[in-house]
Structure 1
Amino acid sequence: MNITLIGASGFIGSALLAEALSRGHHVTALVQNPDKLAPHAGLKAVAVDVLDTPRLAAQLAGHEAVVSAFSGHAQQDVREYYGCGIDSIIQAVKQAGVKRLLVVGGAGSLEVAPGVQAVDTPEFPAQWKGSALGARDTLEKLRKEQELDWTLLSPAAMIAPGERTGRFRIGGDQLMTDAEGQSRISVQDYAVAMIDELERPAHSRKRFSVAY
């Protein structure tokens, strides 16, 4: 499949890139600094500012799907920057005529009790609140979207480097925990779940989640 990956050099984006390339997909990686990516036969790396909607649309055109691992973690106002970036991405995908958009979401908007999302609890870490709220804003925007065939994948509460096991649970809007009460997933298995969805769509116009 011929896809575009936005944010391919980031924490989750790099795992998505590795997984997609390992399965033989052709990936156009849109990043701030292409030099960060190692050469690969299936990879084309392009420097793009996500906020430059016309240029972004030009790079997206002709692809079968767009996978967004965009994040504003490095910015001072994470929520504001993330929102502007996602708005630009959505508009660029439409302008490019690409129908499928897969988005890396957050765990903060998952429910920990009926009607209670993790980001709204007192225990939620303050340093991640901006990005969690931005990711929740994105989910709300996508749920109102009428044109695109979108999917958003939320990770477990803890996502970190680990093994690629290919063994995990798929859920919906609730935070999943394991037998020890922990909510976790490796970034490698998160990537497996996302590329599985790319290849075999099962959550059109929905958010789904992944955890051990």
Structure 2
Amino acid sequence: MKIALIGATGYVGTALLGEALNRGHRVTALVRHPEKLAQHANLDAQQANVHDVAALAEQLRGHDVVLSAFNPGWGLADIREQFIAGSKAITAASKAAGVNRLLVVGGAGSLYVAPGQQLIDTPNFPAEYKEGAEGARQALNLLRDEQELQWTFLSPAALLQPGPRTGQFRIGGEQLLMDGDAPAHISVADLAVALLDEAEQPQHIRQRFTVAY
């Protein structure tokens, strides 16, 4: 499979890149700094600007699937706006390129913890992550209205941590997965397994899903 991976040098993107290459896929890594990536026979690293829809569409053209680990960067004053604008641009570029399959890694903040209540709206949600989580929530809401692309949105467990690749985890839907009374966790390596599994064998077309131990 020929994969376009947006954000391949980030925390999640690095794991996605490694998982995709280990499975033998050909990957075009679209990043701000391609020089950060090690050379690989199946890797084509290209500098990209997600906000330039026309240029990004040309880079996406000819791929089987787009994997987006886009994150504008924590700590930005306008992270919410950047998240929404970048997500809109990636969707528009995917459509312009004729790539029908778009898989997006978002946040856990929009998962439900009770009827009508999402994690981001709970009193103890960390204030320093709220603007970014709100951007990711709105990006998901925009995708829910998208009828042309076969999109999938993957929310990690509440705790996304470094750790081994086990290939063993639970798959959920709209609800935050728990470990007893505490939020469950997942390694970033296994998050990558879940997204590549979905890319290879789609199970959640135009749906959001989540994974956790």
Question: What's the TM-score once normalised by structure 2's chain length?
Answer: 0.98
Aligned to 2:68: 68
Percentage of matched positions with identical amino acids: 58
Unaligned runs of 5+ in 2: none
Q: In the alignment, which residue of structure 1 is the partner of 2:172?
A: 171
Alignment of structure 1 residues 155-194 onto 2, 5 Å: 155-179=156-180, 181-194=182-195
User: C-alpha displacement at 1:180, in angstroms?
Assistant: 6.0
Q: Which residue of 1 aligns with 2:8?
A: 8
State the SS of the aligned residue for 1:98: coil
Question: Counterpart in 1 of 2:97?
Answer: 96
Residue correspondence of structure 1 range 97-116 to structure 2 within 5 A: 97-116=98-117
Paired residue type of 1:145: E
> Displacement of 1:114 after TM fit?
1.2
Moved over 2 A (4+): 73-76, 179-182
Other-structure match for 2:40: 40
SS of aligned partner of 1:202: coil
Corresponding position of 1:77: 78
**8 Å Cα contact 2:176-2:183 kept in structure 1:** no
CA distance in 2, matches of 1:178, 1:21: 32
* Bigger mean CA deviation after superposition, 172-181 or 26-35: 172-181
Partners in 1 of 2:117 and 2:180 — Cα distance?
Answer: 22
SS in 2 for 1:89: helix
* SS of the residue 1:9 aligns to: coil
How far did residue 182 of structure 1 move? 3.3
* 1:178 to 1:98, Cα distance in 2 relative to 1, 3 A: same
Q: Secondary structure at the match of 1:106?
A: coil
Q: Which amino acid aligns with 2:155?
A: S
Q: Give the equivalent residue in structure 1 for 2:25.
A: 25
1:101 to partner: Cα distance: 0.2
Q: Distance in 1 between matches of 2:73 and 2:159?
A: 16
- Which position in structure 2 is the counterpart of 1:55? 55
2: CA distance between counterparts of 1:195 and 1:179? 28
Gaps of 5+ in 1: none
Shift of 1:146: 1.1
Alignment partners' CA distance in 2, 1:120 and 1:95: 35
Q: Distance in 1 between matches of 2:196 and 2:101?
A: 13
Deviations 1:158-197 (A, max 9, x none): 1011010111000000000124623210000000000000
SS at match of 1:102: strand
Residue 70 of structure 1 aligns with an amino acid whose one-letter code is: F
For residue 40 of structure 1, give the secondary structure of its aligned residue in structure 2.
Answer: coil
- 1:71-108 superposed Cα distances (whole Å, 9 cap, x missing partner): 12243211000111011111100100000000001100
Give me the CA root mean square deviation: 0.9
